């Protein structure tokens, strides 16, 4: 790996060389390196590009890193990754994609991730998206995440896209069985002419299933974001969705969170607020000696922390 690739890896997966535990590093559409453990197997798919990540029942305190990096301009990469999380496992999965594009052609990575979370299993899933490079070519990332959670299962998703992605359509679909829970924290910042679209669909099918979807976003300059979320309460369940957005410059944000209560014991709530940084917040920081630019930066960083 060269310096550019190593930097991408650090940005998206906080790893410097080789991560601990199981990992699968994909660079420019090819396998770069892989490690499996006694409990975590990674198998290359035969029918299409992608891998199966198979985690044995009862596996705890282990992690899997599956970063993808693209440093060649004009590459379009598509992978199907399936995650089988055995009963009672408790693991951390770190995915993410970094694109360095200094050419004129678009670079694109579309990852379709499907999770099969078995009974009482717990997954913490972290996905970071990052783009860089001074080429004119777009950096496009369209992640699709499909989540099936069995009884008592739990998934926590943290998705972060802070910088450098020209266009993204982020689709997440989940269905939850009895007692299953899903927590999603999404953070997006767009600038320049970037566009970002988020689509969440959560089916709360099981008794006492719950979902909590929290999105925080910042749209700067001429960028545009759309936040869609659909929570369907099909049983005794609890659903909450929240979308808070800061607009700056000529940034635009649209929030369309829909709730459908299809069961008498479904309890659903959503909240959204879109606006610019409050003037008094800025003034407070500026009286402490910060310039307006620095004050804004500090508020945005705090908001997305």
Chain residues binding its own copies by CB under 8 A are 233, 245, 247-262, 264-276
Least Å distance, CB 254 to its own copies, is 4
**C-beta closer to its own copies: residue 256 or 288:** 256
CB-nearer residue toward its own copies: 104 or 265: 265
Query: Cβ closer to its own copies: 19 or 257?
Result: 257
Least CB distance from residue 70 to its own copies, whole Å? 32
Question: Residue 100 is encoded by which pair of tokens?
Answer: 């360095």
Select 42 or 218, whichever has its Cβ closest to its own copies: 218
The backbone region for 28, taken as left when phi is positive above 0, alpha when psi lies in -120 to 50, beta otherwise, is left
Is the Cβ of residue 20 or residue 193 nearer to its own copies in the bound state?
A: 193
**Which one, 50 or 233, has the nearer CB to its own copies?**
233
Pick from 182, 120, 116: which is nearest to 151 by CA? 120
Give the DSSP letter string of 224-250.
Answer: EEEEEEEEEE-SSEEEEEEEEEEE-TT
> How far are the Cα atoms of 4, 66, 210, 268 from residue 82, in angstroms, in the given order?
28, 12, 23, 30
Least separation in angstroms between CB 92 and its own copies: 33
| Least distance from its own copies to the Cβ atom of residue 94, Å | 33
Q: Work out how close the CB of 251 gets to its own copies at its nearest, in angstroms, rounded to a whole number.
A: 7
Q: What pairs with residue 144 in β-bridges?
A: 112, 171
| Residue (81 or 225) nearer to its own copies, CB | 225
User: Least CB distance from residue 150 to its own copies, whole Å?
Assistant: 26
Q: 186 near 198, Cβ under 8 Å? A: yes
CA distance 285 to 289: 7
**Closest C-alpha among 155, 157, 146, 159 to residue 196:** 159
Residue 179's region, left for phi above 0, alpha for psi from -120 to 50, else beta, is left
CB of 239 to its own copies, least distance (A): 9
Contact 92, 124 (CB under 8 A): yes
Structural contact between residues 12 and 130, judged by C-beta atoms closer than 8 angstroms:
yes
């Amino acid at each position: 790996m060269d310096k550019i690739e190593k930097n991408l890896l650090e940005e998206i997966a906080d790893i410097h060389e080789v991560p601990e535990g199981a990992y699968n590093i994909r660079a420019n559409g090819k396998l770069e390196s892989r490690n499996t453990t006694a409990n975590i197997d990674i198998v290359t798919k035969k029918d299409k590009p992608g891998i199966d990540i198979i985690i044995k029942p009862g596996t705890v305190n282990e992690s899997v890193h599956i970063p993808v990096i693209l440093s060649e301009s004009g590459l379009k990469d598509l992978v199907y990754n399936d995650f089988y999380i055995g009963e009672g496992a408790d693991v951390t999965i770190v995915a993410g994609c970094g694109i360095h594009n200094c050419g004129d052609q678009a670079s694109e990575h579309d990852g379709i991730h499907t999770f099969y979370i078995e009974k009482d299993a717990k997954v913490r899933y972290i996905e970071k998206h990052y783009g860089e490079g001074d080429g004119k070519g777009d950096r496009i990332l369209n992640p699709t995440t499909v989540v099936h959670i069995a009884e008592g299962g739990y998934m926590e998703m943290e998705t972060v896209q802070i910088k450098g992605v020209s266009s993204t359509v982020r689709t997440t679909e989940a269905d939850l069985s009895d007692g299953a829970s899903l927590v999603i924290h999404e953070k997006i910042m767009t600038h320049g002419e970037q566009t970002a679209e988020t689509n969440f669909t959560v089916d709360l099918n099981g008794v006492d299933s719950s979902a909590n979807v929290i999105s925080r976003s910042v749209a700067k300059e001429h960028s545009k974001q759309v936040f869609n979320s659909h929570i369907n309460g099909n049983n005794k369940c609890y659903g909450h969705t929240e979308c808070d957005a800061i607009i700056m410059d000529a940034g635009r944000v649209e929030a369309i969170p829909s709730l459908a209560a299809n069961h008498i014991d479904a309890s659903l709530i959503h909240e959204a607020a879109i606006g610019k940084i409050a003037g008094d917040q800025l003034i407070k920081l500026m009286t402490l000696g910060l310039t307006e630019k620095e004050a804004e930066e500090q508020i945005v960083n705090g908001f997305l922390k």
